[in-house]
Chain A
Amino acid sequence: MEEVPHDCPGADSAQAGRGASCQGCPNQRLCASGAGATPDPAIEEIKEKMKTVKHKILVLSGKGGVGKSTFSAHLAHGLAEDENTQIALLDIDICGPSIPKIMGLEGEQVHQSGSGWSPVYLEDNLGVMSVGFLLSSPDDAVIWRGPKKNGMIKQFLRDVDWGDVDYLIVDTPPGTSDEHLSVVQYLAAAHIDGAVIITTPQEVSLQDVRKEINFCHKVKLPIIGVVENMSGFICPKCKKESQIFPPTTGGAELMCQDLEVPLLGRVPLDPLIGKNCDKGQSFFIDAPDSPATLAYRSIIQRIQEFCNVHQSKEENLISS
């Protein structure tokens, strides 16, 4: 099994090209020469650009289809209800961008301005950017390998004219690969507040999410907390609850206890959520009193609190 490369130490570490796992890697010589250690100049440029962005939140999950984009969109909708809060929603799912559809912005195009790409504005205080806005037809597939996807993410962070923003929400594709490494590296100097991790209750999903939590530890990304989505289904006819995705191993709650990360809340399955996403509307407007809306609102509040506490901590550090 020795030929399977296990843990790449990373091109910028002291072990680059020298670790046991580097044996046989085609990039071994390049890494060992130290050429990989020079930081990408874009990191500094992105840091400059991000000076006008107060909080940066990543929405992650190891598993696909658990509701990352739905959550990102509704986090944006929820925060944007306060007219004085500027929200930017960035979709870095390059191969499967869902945000344009969920936000009702399908078919919109990005405009070039003097200071870069201008995001598509849903409201005055809610700007959206996605690779979906750069495609000419909804059938267009973005069949790109890693380096090209990374280039796109770099452009999204460096060349989009976001302006003054309170919250930048970054929606990611499933997994722990190019897109995730890139966004964390590019934003490294600019400081990310943390990651919100989405899961569904089943073990098949949790096992991927544990990997994602380990990824966060590996890249030193703070975890704001975990959201359990699709948690229970209330039959619209008899109002009784059933578990469509049964939490056979204790669900997100037990996982959070084991891994010592906060559980931000549980969002029940509500057929209206999917319907509204398909129509590109905010679910909060259609179902203001639904248990799912209430769950969302409480989670959004906890995320805001997390960001504020951390901001004031930093300000204290600077002033002291």
Chain B
Amino acid sequence: MEAAADPGNLAGVRHIILVLSGKGGVGKSTVSTELALALRHAGKKVGILDVDLCGPSIPRMLGAQGRAVHQCDRGWAPVFLDQEQSLSLMSVGFLLEKPDEAVVWRGPKKNALIKQFVSDVAWGELDYLVVDTPPGTSDEHMATVEALRPHQPLGALVVTTPQAVSVGDVRRELTFCRKTGLRVMGVVENMSGFTCPHCAECTSVFSRGGGEELAQLAGVPFLGSVPLDPELMRSLEEGHDFIQEFPGSPAFAALTSIAQKILDATPACLP
């Protein structure tokens, strides 16, 4: 693999995966978090880069609010989430003085910070870098894709919920991937079905089947459906490791199978 320009701080990063969706609140950050946790439990070293500058959710989902990034001689040191330093995170959330502070920035300023995030974070050696993005197809996405292009990202995971309203936005995101030359690794359908804890009846709260249909239509792999699971919500709210704590829950099976598909789709890399 010939390195275009100076690989710099991303030199030790083997595979980069972007998590995208045209629609907000469909679970990009949830999928990013759980994918990272599942890959880590599979023995990989994983980093998460949260480029949602106006609404960073990952610090809370990993119980890392209030932590700070430190300057080291190679740039910013990401926040490590475990003793073994196998899971690290960078987010604008760590740069805010007050957690409720609004980042009221227009595009150019956001682009500048994203460039810095891509070039100045000292990730060290990573098997996977998962990049979580805000909704839409605008500044942050163009800046991220441009900045990562020299590092040849593995591809994008596109998240949707089953409703037509969401699928409509995600179709546009697929067009974005095509236009920017980003490979779509597959579609994940989130929030598909809720099993009532009282009577075990499964209700399609946000209708059903949209993700699979979309994948078929676009000719990209369908990676799986993650059901609505209050245990998952609670883990994310409290920053717990869902993959470790709830191996019996329905969302667990779905999430680990998606992570496995990502592992399978990763080309063997020469050391």
Instruction: Give the interface of A toward B (CB within 8 A).
Output: 1, 3-6, 8, 25-27, 62-66, 69, 94-96, 98, 101-102, 138-147, 149, 173-178, 180-181, 200, 202-205, 207-208, 210-215, 218-219, 233, 235-238, 240, 242-246, 248-249, 269, 271, 274-275, 277-278
Question: How many of chain B's residues touch chain A, expressed as a range?
Answer: 35 or more
Flag if B172 contacts A142 (CB, 8 Å). yes
Chain B residues whose C-beta falls within 8 Å of the C-beta of A278 in the assembled complex: 163-165, 207
A211 touches which of B24, B54, B230 (Cβ 8 Å): B54
Chain B residues whose C-beta falls within 8 Å of the C-beta of A233 in the assembled complex: 194, 203, 205
Instruction: Give the interface of B toward A (CB within 8 A).
Output: 22-26, 29, 54-55, 57, 60-61, 69, 71, 95, 97, 99-110, 112-113, 116, 134-139, 141-142, 161, 163-166, 168-169, 171-176, 179-180, 194, 196-199, 201, 203-207, 228, 230, 233-234, 236-238
Flag if A215 contacts B104 (CB, 8 Å). yes
Flag if B55 contacts A62 (CB, 8 Å). yes
Measured CB to CB, the closest approach of chain A to B33, in angstroms, equals 10
Flag if B205 contacts A203 (CB, 8 Å). no
B24 touches which of A8, A63, A138, A237 (Cβ 8 Å): A63
Q: Which residue of B lies closest to A135 (CB)?
A: B172
Flag if B24 contacts A65 (CB, 8 Å). yes
Chain B residues whose C-beta falls within 8 Å of the C-beta of A181 in the assembled complex: 104, 106
Measured CB to CB, the closest approach of chain B to A215, in angstroms, equals 4
Flag if A211 contacts B107 (CB, 8 Å). no
Flag if A204 contacts B196 (CB, 8 Å). no
Flag if A211 contacts B172 (CB, 8 Å). no
Chain A residues whose C-beta falls within 8 Å of the C-beta of B25 in the assembled complex: 63-66, 174, 200, 205
A189-B267 Cα distance, complex, nearest whole Å: 57
6 further contact pairs, Cβ within 8 A, besides A64-B26, A146-B138, A204-B57: A65-B166, A138-B168, A175-B54, A175-B55, A204-B237, A211-B55
Chain A residues whose C-beta falls within 8 Å of the C-beta of B206 in the assembled complex: 271, 274
Question: When A64-B135, A237-B201, A274-B205 are in contact, do A244 and B233 touch as well, CB less than 8 Å?
Answer: yes
B107 touches which of A96, A147, A277 (Cβ 8 Å): A147
Flag if B61 contacts A204 (CB, 8 Å). yes
Flag if B196 contacts A246 (CB, 8 Å). no
Flag if B228 contacts A177 (CB, 8 Å). no
Chain A residues whose C-beta falls within 8 Å of the C-beta of B230 in the assembled complex: 242-244, 246
A248 touches which of B105, B108, B207, B237 (Cβ 8 Å): B237
A177 touches which of B106, B116, B161 (Cβ 8 Å): B106
B165 touches which of A98, A146, A213 (Cβ 8 Å): A98
Question: When A176-B104, A181-B106, A202-B233 are in contact, do A208 and B55 touch as well, CB less than 8 Å?
Answer: yes
A145-B138 Cα distance, complex, nearest whole Å: 5
Flag if B163 contacts A238 (CB, 8 Å). no
Measured CB to CB, the closest approach of chain A to B160, in angstroms, equals 10
Measured CB to CB, the closest approach of chain B to A290, in angstroms, equals 14
Flag if A96 contacts B110 (CB, 8 Å). no
Chain B residues whose C-beta falls within 8 Å of the C-beta of A139 in the assembled complex: 171-172, 174-175
State the 4 A-B residue pairs at the shortest beta-carbon distance, nearest first: A64-B24, A65-B25, A146-B107, A175-B54
Question: When A65-B161, A146-B108 are in contact, do A174 and B99 touch as well, CB less than 8 Å?
Answer: no
A143-B168 Cα distance, complex, nearest whole Å: 15
Measured CB to CB, the closest approach of chain B to A128, in angstroms, equals 15
Flag if B234 contacts A248 (CB, 8 Å). yes
Chain A residues whose C-beta falls within 8 Å of the C-beta of B22 in the assembled complex: 95-96, 141
Flag if B199 contacts A96 (CB, 8 Å). no
Measured CB to CB, the closest approach of chain B to A7, in angstroms, equals 8
Q: Which residue of B lies closest to A174 (CB)?
A: B24
Measured CB to CB, the closest approach of chain A to B69, in angstroms, equals 8
Flag if A204 contacts B205 (CB, 8 Å). no
